[in-house]
Amino acid sequence: MFEINRRRNNPRWNIREDLAGYMFIMPTILVLGTFVVLPILYAVFLSLQKVQLLGGIEYEFIGFRNFTQLAEDERVWIALRNTAQYVAIVVPTQTVLALILAVTLNSGIRGKNWWRILYFLPTVTSSTVLTLIFMWIYNTDGLLNDFLTFMGLPTYNWLGDPAVALKGIMIMNIWSTAPFFMVIYLAALQDIPQTLYEAAELDGANEWQQFIHITLPLLKPVTFFVVAVGVIGTFQLFDQSYIFSGGTGGPNNATLTVVLLIYQSVFRNLQMGYAAAIAFLLAAVIIAITLIQRRLFGGERI
């Protein structure tokens, strides 16, 4: 009450506080304005133009032709299909693996923190380094094929065979991302009150029943978060495909992803407007899936 009156009665105080507020937030406004808000508007503009990049930049308004071109472009469909396949396999696998690891770590074993630090290693390491290491392990005469031979299993040309190239990236990314979600699950598991399990035990529920009827339902909001972040992350696959294929998306477009296609459209084909249209397509797909997922999870708020 007192402060409100002071503000009303003293315009100088008012201005001073406004000034302080804006001095604190001005850098943020400038940066987000220039590199997020302006780019969004610019992207809308670009997607309706044919952009010429000879010397200076020239624009030619072509309406929705970039978007109609999308539907006819075979590589867009290949990239979408690859990316969708990647998401469909990687997200469920890494989520289940993360949950298994978290529950195992949380079951009263010794040295929990040490396991956790160890498992987290791949998440901390850069995708560039991981991709290089895996490319080497995936070599035709590399460690993985040695191991498969030793086990009496068939070997693959992981990098050169279109049938398995994307699977190689999947394996690597499940391996490197699962620990991140494991840590999130671990944090959530620790928030579940012990009394719930004690009560269930008194009621005669065994450990498996406790897991199904207490742990899983209480983890639902976290699972929503893990799946949502997983979907967004996997749809943006770029680094690994780029490094694996030397930027081409090969062999035979097997590792071509939507973001790699956007990159190629800009820097190989110099089609800025078309690339902006692909970016909008990708954003629409991600937003749609997130909304559907929110429906499925009953509109849980995180």
Binding mask 35-54 for another protein (x = CB under 8 A): xxxxxx-xx--x--------
Q: In whole angstroms, how close is the CB of 270 to another protein at the nearest point?
A: 11
Site for another protein in 235-294 (CB under 8 A): 236, 238-239, 242-243, 246, 258-259, 262-263, 266-267, 272, 275-276, 279-280, 282-283, 286
Q: In whole angstroms, how close is the CB of 72 to another protein at the nearest point?
A: 21
Q: In whole angstroms, how close is the CB of 20 to another protein at the nearest point?
A: 4
**59 exposed, middle or buried (CB, 10 Å; 0-12, 13-18, 19+)?**
middle
> Judged by CB, which is closer to another protein: 105, or 256?
105
> Judged by CB, which is closer to another protein: 89, or 285?
285
Binding mask 61-90 for another protein (x = CB under 8 A): ------------------------------
Choosing from 6, 17, 92, 270, the residue that interacts with another protein (CB under 8 A) is 17
Choosing from 165, 189, 254, 289, the residue that interacts with another protein (CB under 8 A) is 189
> Judged by CB, which is closer to another protein: 10, or 128?
128
Whole-number Å distance between alpha carbons of 191 and 213: 16
Q: In whole angstroms, how close is the CB of 74 to another protein at the nearest point?
A: 21
**End-to-end CA separation in angstroms for the chain:** 34
